[in-house]
Amino acid sequence: MVHSAHGGTASRAERQLTHTRVRPAQVRPEPAPGVGDTAGGEPGGQKDVERPLFEAFTDQDLVDLGVVPALLPLIRRIVDEDELLGLAEVAPQLTSDVLLALHDGKSVEEVLEHVTVPVKADSPVDPEDFAAAVARPATQVTSDDAALQAVLGESFARWQVFLHPTQRQLVDRVYGGPARVSGGPGTGKTIVALHRAGHLAARLPPGDDKPILLTTFNRNLAADLRARFLDLVGPDLVDRVDIVNIDKLASRVVGEAGASRRRRTIDDDAAVREWAAMLDEVGERRWDAEFLAAEWAEVVLGQVLRSRTDYFKARRPGRGRPLSRADRDAVWQLVERFTKRLDDAGVWTWRQVAEYAARTEQDRAAAVVSAAGQPTASGSLPRYRYRHVVVDEAQDLNPAHWKMLRAMVAPGRDDIFLVGDTHQRIYDNYVTLGSLGVNIRGRSAKLTLSYRTTRQILWTALRLLAGETYDDLDGGDDNLAGYRSLLSGGEPVLGEAVTWADELKLISGQIRVWESAGDGSTSAGDGSTAVCVPTRRMVEDVVTHLEASGISAIEIGPDGPKRAGGVHVGTMHRFKGLEYRRIIIGGASAGLVPRGVVERYQDVDPKRYQQERARDRSLLFVAATRARDDLAIFWHGRPSPFLAAAWTRRRAVGSSLRN
């Protein structure tokens, strides 16, 4: 059963028309729902008084921001959002941008800085020419929009390194210290990071060293960054930048120190099993293995705590369950017993590797400071590992990672540049950057204009987050209110099946529909279409089914797709930071999204239950926002509760999609 996210049955012909080639938006999107809003709720009642939406702003305020003066009388009569959106469809785009931003709650000063100032028309615009305004692409900035239109017509590889001209200032700016760029899906954070690394590399004096670090959380995303960076700057500058995922970097540091010899690294699941075995041996019943494994990894190792006293003083952000001093004493004793157990077995975890690397780099930084520019007794001159550090997907790094990075570069101008979005956090790493020596106060920018995914996909994805709250990596809260997209495309497709086998047919059928509805410039086999599912076993099923259906399918492994071309298939975790023209999310069923194991925490540990659900919700959100042009979400059996919440009022029956 297939239907659009906005309800209604979709015939084959209608589906083909829905999934037209993406284009710059001619009709202005609705403001995105703020995270924390209730999606799908009905109005609470009739308004007693309908007041003009813009009565708080003078005519001069509006004109100074770029509103067309001839529209002021009409604007003064707008009393609800429907009327505002109706005007936004036909008004010049700068007028629409300004009015929508003000309606979203931004101040005059914020709108001036983020909406009006970046917009400079190359030629005079006739404010009375509304026909031209409707035809004018995406924004008032003709050159910007021409660039956007042009790149949409080029190869997808070209698109993957395209920087929106209004973001150039973030790339080229000189920062007095650590700087952060945050933003919602499709706002180009990764592209900003890539161009920032290229900008810093271009300023380097001649040499063959790698004084710039470009890092991210996982291996396949690091591989994607390297491929994109090569397309962006060419081989010479690529050779001046160390592009590596954060755990591999930590392993390198530990290896150089000789600490990794005769030790085998185990993953988090194996660590939990070791905790469970130890707790059974000692008869400990106060805490379960999952809680202690997380406490040890996130608090003790994450904060590089070296003693029982340090642990007593430590903050425990995001941990939920409070611990008394006596509790902490008992936990510390268990931690010491556990680490000895791992030492005796000759194994350690990735968290231990990161913690050891952080201490090693901190010692190195201390030696640099102590040497004060003078050679040591051995004749060597201690120096920091890098001149500049650029971090992508910053929300997923743990505190030990940040301590390691802070120690790798001298504090000062252009030292650390990071991009991230806590709404896309899919690992339990909660940090306050200021407490880790990464002070970003006064050097933060927030991107609110999405130009890498359509407004239809953006709206759908944001509804998945309704009801959750998120931090800003620095002790405050963050939200996605006011986000909007420059692109317009087809409505996302929702499809339901009785069984997983039936859902596989939906997946292959949707790929065929997209192929038949295309303009011939792309195909399912060119690597720009992907399928993501919750589990590794489901990946294998999808690959097998697609190949049997005559569709080339390539699994995304730890280092990216195993070969070029084909439809890429992977678990949702593999899609962090990646971009595709079209994405199918399969297996979005209850018991899979969120994971069935999460339900066991609902009564015994409500805080953890909330955190685990939020993590799985963010994972679905990440998957949904990987698509630029088209998105389809399928499930079998009961849909994920995240979908049910997002489309409570938009349940629809559809027609069968047949191959």
C-alpha of 53 from chain center = 33
> For the chain, which ranges sit under pLDDT 70?
1-49, 89-90, 93, 118-154, 260-261, 377, 379, 423-430, 466-483, 518-524, 644-659
Note whether 192 and 226 are same-domain residues. Answer: yes
Q: Is 239 exposed, middle or buried (0-12, 13-18, 19+ CB in 10 A)?
A: middle
Note whether 547 and 603 are same-domain residues. Answer: yes
Does the annotation place 187 within a ligand binding site? yes
C-alpha of 490 from chain center = 22
Domain around 426 = 163-256+354-447
Does the annotation place 184 within a ligand binding site? yes
C-alpha span between 61 and 548 (Å, rounded):
62
Note whether 313 and 389 are same-domain residues. Answer: no
- Residue 628 forms part of a structural domain: yes
Does the annotation place 190 within a ligand binding site? yes
Asked which of 388, 414, 447 is the last residue of a domain, the reply is 447
Question: What letters, b where the CB count within 10 A reaches 16 and e where it falls short, cover 176-194?
Answer: ebbbbbbbbbbbbbbbbbb
C-alpha span between 8 and 2 (Å, rounded):
9
Note whether 549 and 416 are same-domain residues. Answer: no
> pTM of this prediction?
0.69
Q: How many domains does the chain have?
A: 4
Does the annotation place 283 within a ligand binding site? no
Question: pLDDT tens digits, residue range 494-528?
Answer: 999 999 999 999 999 999 999 887 655 556 678 88
Q: Output the pLDDT for position 11.
A: 35
Q: Are strands 566-571 and 553-557 parallel, antiparallel or unpaired?
A: parallel
Does the annotation place 183 within a ligand binding site? yes
Note whether 504 and 632 are same-domain residues. Answer: yes
Q: Are strands 23-24 and 484-488 parallel, antiparallel or unpaired?
A: antiparallel
Note whether 140 and 177 are same-domain residues. Answer: no
Note whether 252 and 271 are same-domain residues. Answer: no
Note whether 502 and 603 are same-domain residues. Answer: yes
- What CATH number did the domain enclosing 512 receive? 3.40.50.300
Note whether 247 and 297 are same-domain residues. Answer: no
Asked which of 145, 179, 212 is the last residue of a domain, the reply is 145
